[in-house]
């Protein structure tokens, strides 16, 4: 590990001071990183310090920072035209829609609606589900994160601070436990998978007692929970959920804003579970960092008529050009890399876990990996204080990582990261765990 960096450096500090004067204080900034430039999985701050990026701008820089092919696609498009508005047509928008149709995780043909962010994709899914079904109610999951605008915020349930001071939210969302295999809150029947238990709870406790199924438009779920802790759902969940939705004509809406675009080694995480959703919410890594989102819906569902939904920037040509270049790179190389390097990283983390009793759980798929810290393996009491120290310590060692859930660290690097970069980052990570644990111990005995 390089000797601890002195952070922030003088140039970074000056920018942070200016930022404080003019930028909303609501943004959560864990570490004083002021970016100068990036290349692949490496980033440099304005004082010339190099970091490995295991966060990728919250799982956004899917093809790495400033991939030359993405940069070229953006440059070429910018020279032709930057904007025309969704009142007209252009080639790249159609080509992007065609591509989404070919990679949609269902057999039926797909139609797509383009947005500018994840939250806007979720809003579009809510509206389409209500419009198509004529029903008003939804089921969401505790620990879920779907965005911060009023509709998506009604589903978001990962921290109370997201809601505090913002009521009333959109009406009509009932939350149920997410099938978290490490922290189950429901009792399974003998021989029942925990994923099935959660679906049985929805049917027997929610639909049978409080929420009439004929009023439920959709169930919205993060295929793998992101901000809530990088939680891979327990076995049995998706087949049982799909079956429940079929029985009551409820739409299955998967939020793949974080888990999609090849991150788990398949285009969409839902493909690992053998079921087909009705609507897919897309965002983050779709255009390597150019703001773009979409919903992909079964063609028969997207029957809303002219004017019922729209936006000015939908299908922005620069965003579509970046998305087309991104999709090609992911398709040709990086999805396979995510699967392969992801397995390698998971194995390495399982080994690290044997040396650090503070690691309670390691889980994930592809390059969407969570490492959860606990005070005690038996009680599984979360150690959020240690987790925060580790993030800080890793930063000083030259590694960008982000937290999620109560006491989890997420590892979500660019999909083209190499084995040697993973090795380097994990070495910094492990040393950060040891240093943070030592500091915590000395703070407690002092």
Ligand X SMILES: Cc1ncc(COP(=O)(O)O)c(C=O)c1O
> Of residues 58-87, which lie at the interface with ligand X (CB under 6 A)?
58
Nearer to ligand X, 241 or 374 (CB): 241
Q: Look up residue 350 and give its two tokens.
A: 């399982």
- Residue pair 253/220 in contact by the 8 Å Cβ criterion: yes
> Residue from 119, 158, 316, 412 that binds ligand X (CB under 6 A)?
119
Q: Which stretch binds ligand X (CB under 6 A): 75-83, 184-192, 220-228, 322-330?
A: 220-228
Q: Which stretch binds ligand X (CB under 6 A): 114-122, 186-194, 353-361, 373-381?
A: 114-122
Phi and psi angles of residue 110, each rounded to the nearest 5 degrees, phi first? -120, 150
Closest approach, Cβ 147 to ligand X, in A, equals 4
Closest approach, Cβ 152 to ligand X, in A, equals 6
Q: How many CB atoms lie within 10 A of CB 444?
A: 7
> Of residues 223-242, which lie at the interface with ligand X (CB under 6 A)?
226-227
Give bridge partners of residue 295 from the DSSP assignment: 113, 281
Closest approach, Cβ 180 to ligand X, in A, equals 16
- Residue pair 426/352 in contact by the 8 Å Cβ criterion: yes
Q: Which stretch binds ligand X (CB under 6 A): 29-37, 130-138, 143-151, 374-382?
A: 143-151
DSSP state of 27: S
Nearer to ligand X, 122 or 198 (CB): 122
Nearer to ligand X, 226 or 397 (CB): 226
d(CA 416, CA 298): 31
Estimate the share of the chain in helix, then strand, then coil, as percent rounded to the nearest 5: 40, 15, 40
> Of residues 242-281, which lie at the interface with ligand X (CB under 6 A)?
255, 257-258
Nearer to ligand X, 230 or 334 (CB): 230
Closest approach, Cβ 292 to ligand X, in A, equals 10
Torsion from C-alpha of 294, 297, 301, 302, nearest 10 degrees: 30
Closest approach, Cβ 415 to ligand X, in A, equals 16
Nearer to ligand X, 46 or 231 (CB): 231
145 binding ligand X? (CB under 6 A): yes
| Residue of closest CB approach to ligand X | 118
Q: Which stretch binds ligand X (CB under 6 A): 131-139, 145-153, 209-217, 261-269?
A: 145-153
> Residue from 117, 133, 264, 407 that binds ligand X (CB under 6 A)?
117
Q: Which stretch binds ligand X (CB under 6 A): 26-34, 141-149, 181-189, 303-311?
A: 141-149
- Residue pair 433/76 in contact by the 8 Å Cβ criterion: no
What Rg do the C-alpha atoms of the chain give, in angstroms? 22
By CB under 6 A, the count of residues binding ligand X is 15
Residues 6+ positions from 297 with CB-CB distance below 8 Å? 110, 111, 112, 113, 125, 128, 278, 279, 280
> Of residues 379-438, which lie at the interface with ligand X (CB under 6 A)?
none
Closest approach, Cβ 278 to ligand X, in A, equals 17
Q: How many CB atoms lie within 10 A of CB 434?
A: 14
Q: Which ranges constitute the DSSP H helices of 134-189?
A: 150-155
- Residue pair 144/228 in contact by the 8 Å Cβ criterion: yes
Q: Look up residue 36 and give its two tokens.
A: 């100068």
Per-residue mark of binding to ligand X, 19-58 (x: CB under 6 A)? ---------------------------------------x
Q: Which stretch binds ligand X (CB under 6 A): 17-25, 142-150, 191-199, 437-445?
A: 142-150
Per-residue mark of binding to ligand X, 305-334 (x: CB under 6 A)? ------------------------------
283 binding ligand X? (CB under 6 A): yes
Residues 6+ positions from 265 with CB-CB distance below 8 Å? 335, 336, 338, 339, 340, 342, 365, 366
Q: Look up residue 415 and give its two tokens.
A: 């999909």
Nearer to ligand X, 60 or 417 (CB): 60
Report strand pairing: 42-45 vs 50-53: antiparallel
Closest approach, Cβ 213 to ligand X, in A, equals 25
Residues 6+ positions from 368 with CB-CB distance below 8 Å? 59, 224, 226, 230, 258, 259, 263, 264, 269, 342, 410, 412
User: Chain-centre distance of CA 222, in angstroms?
Assistant: 8
- CA distances (Å), 150 to each of 122, 126, 155, 191, 294, in order? 10, 11, 9, 40, 18
Nearer to ligand X, 34 or 282 (CB): 282
195 binding ligand X? (CB under 6 A): no
> Residue from 38, 64, 118, 229 that binds ligand X (CB under 6 A)?
118
Binding residues for ligand X (CB under 6 A):
58, 117-119, 122, 145-147, 222, 226-227, 255, 257-258, 283
């Amino acid at each position: 590990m390089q000797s601890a960096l002195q952070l922030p450096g003088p140039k970074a500090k000056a920018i942070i001071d200016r930022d404080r004067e003019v930028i909303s204080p609501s943004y959560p900034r864990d570490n004083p990183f002021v970016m100068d430039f990036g290349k692949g999985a490496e980033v440099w701050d304005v004082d010339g310090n190099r970091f490995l990026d295991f966060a990728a701008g919250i799982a956004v820089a899917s093809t790495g920072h400033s991939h030359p092919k993405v940069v070229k696609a953006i440059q070429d498009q910018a020279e032709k035209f930057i904007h025309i508005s969704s009142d007209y047509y252009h080639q790249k928008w159609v080509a992007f829609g065609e591509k989404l149709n070919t990679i949609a995780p269902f057999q039926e043909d797909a139609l797509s609606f383009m947005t500018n962010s994840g939250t806007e994709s979720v809003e579009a899914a809510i509206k389409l589900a209500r419009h198509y079904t004529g029903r008003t109610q939804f089921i969401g999951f505790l620990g879920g994160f779907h965005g911060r605008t009023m509709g998506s915020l009604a589903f978001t349930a990962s921290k109370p601070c997201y809601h505090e001071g913002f009521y009333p939210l959109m009406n009509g969302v009932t939350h149920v436990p997410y099938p978290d295999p490490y922290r189950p809150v429901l009792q399974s029947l003998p021989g029942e998978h925990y994923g099935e238990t959660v679906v049985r709870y929805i049917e027997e406790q929610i639909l049978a007692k409080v929420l009439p199924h004929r009023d439920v438009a959709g169930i919205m779920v993060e295929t793998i929970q992101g901000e809530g802790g990088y939680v891979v759902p327990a076995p049995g969940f998706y087949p049982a959920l799909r079956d429940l939705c079929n029985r009551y004509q409820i739409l299955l809406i998967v939020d793949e804003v974080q888990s999609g675009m090849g991150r788990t080694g398949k285009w969409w995480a839902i493909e690992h579970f053998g079921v087909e959703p009705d609507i897919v919410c897309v965002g983050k890594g779709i255009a390597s960092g150019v703001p773009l989102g979409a919903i992909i819906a079964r063609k028969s569902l997207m029957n809303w008529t002219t004017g019922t939904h729209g936006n000015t920037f939908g299908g922005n040509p620069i965003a579509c050009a970046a998305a087309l270049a991104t999709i090609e790179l992911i398709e040709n190389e990086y999805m396979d890399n995510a699967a392969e390097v992801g397995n390698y990283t998971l194995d390495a983390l399982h080994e690290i876990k044997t040396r650090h009793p503070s690691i309670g759980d390691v889980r994930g798929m592809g390059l969407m990996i969570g490492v959860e810290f606990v005070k005690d393996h038996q009680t599984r009491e979360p150690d959020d204080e240690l987790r925060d120290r580790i993030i800080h310590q890793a930063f000083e060692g030259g590694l960008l990582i982000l937290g999620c859930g109560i006491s989890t660290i997420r590892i979500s690097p660019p999909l083209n990261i190499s084995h040697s970069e993973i090795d380097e980052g994990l070495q910094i990570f492990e040393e950060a765990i040891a240093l943070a644990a030592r500091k915590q111990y000395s703070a407690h005995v002092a």
